[in-house]
Amino acid sequence: MNILVTSISKKVPLLKAIKKAGKKINAKCQIFGADSQLNVIGKYFVDQFWLMPPLSQLKLETLISYCRSNNIFAIIPTRDAELLIFSEWKDSLKEHDIFVMVSDKEPIKKCIDKLEFYKYSTNKNYPVIPTTENIVDIKAFSYFVVKEKFGAGSENIGTNLNMDEARIHANKLRGPIFQPYIVGKEYSIDIYINNEIKAKGAIVRSRDTVINGESQITTTVKNDMIEKVCCNFAEELGLYGHVVFQVILDDNNNLNILEINCRFGGASPLSIAAGLDSLYWFLLEAKGIGICDSPFVRTSKELKLIRYPNDLVIDMKED
């Protein structure tokens, strides 16, 4: 029983975490890594590498055939751009006993579209940061954040801009949206939502050092309020699997939800180390095994993750 991880790029910590979880299921479990680029770093950290066609060219039948011929029972997508297509395919894949860690299409669409996310969330009375396509709609703030309406939150982002600067930056984007610039402490919240759409557990971690939108240094913290709000929101949205909330606690201790990433995050291995065994729980559920007997046990001590470059030296195969 093997696992396919797509868009592996250089996501080495994730691949190592998946391999560890797979071995807990079956000592002979192999990790198949897929990417549309040949020379990716991740290929050196999987058991088998598949040069997968780009998503625009990949056919469902090709994916099913590959999985069946390689005894693959679980797929873990890792890139935002592939979530919707896997959500469309997951029922067909399930008919072939291939299970995907991905939410349904509608919840993903709500999270990808930042304006729709704001409208839905405010209607449900969740504290989401004000978001608009017209900067004058934002009152009582002098500085702003400008980002793309769709895509990763850090993509082409402009932060701490005055109104004139924000408008100039918006002209550089395809579909700009505006948010107030809020001073406070940033946190990520890793949550696992089981196949009954119930939160199994959550880990809050502070974003201590952020580069290109990803935490390079992050520390677990205990905050019952943040955990409760985010778990309730994830359940109400109907999300599934491992998801990551991004939030800010402002100087008045008010919670502002920025976005939800419907996939495993770059620094999410810290939450696994802290007891959120989401990859293992997904694999258990994929095999039809309940996870009630695999409880969420949070570490008593807080943990810090420091991400850093590392080297790998391998033997060259002879021709």
- Domain 2-101 = CATH 3.40.50.20: yes
CB atoms within 10 A of CB 98: 20
Question: What's the pLDDT score for residue 319?
Answer: 45
Distance between CA atoms of 316 and 319, rounded to whole angstroms?
9
Average pLDDT, the chain: 95
pLDDT tens column, 128-139: 999 999 999 998
Instruction: Encode pLDDT of 166-207 as tens digits.
Output: 999 999 999 999 999 999 999 999 999 999 999 999 999 999
Domains 2-101 and 183-306 share a fold: no
Residue 71 has pLDDT above 70, yes or no: yes
pLDDT at 287 over 50: yes
Q: What is the mean pLDDT of residues 11-33?
A: 97
User: For the chain, what are the domain ranges?
Assistant: 2-101, 131-180, 183-306
Q: How far apart are CA 117 and CA 304, in angstroms?
A: 30
pLDDT > 90 in the chain, percent: 93
The sheet that has 176-180: what strands, in order across it?
Answer: 158-161, 144-148, 176-180
**How confident is the model at residue 267, as a pLDDT?**
94
Task: Report residue 123's pLDDT band, with 50, 70 and 90 as the boundaries.
Answer: very high
Q: Is the pTM of this model over 0.75?
A: yes
- Name 50's bridge partners: 34
Cβ pair 174, 234 in contact under 8 A: no
CATH of segment(s) 183-306: 3.30.470.20
Instruction: Give the C-alpha separation, 124 to 46, whole Å.
Output: 42
Selection from 10, 91, 94 nearest residue 46 by Cα: 10
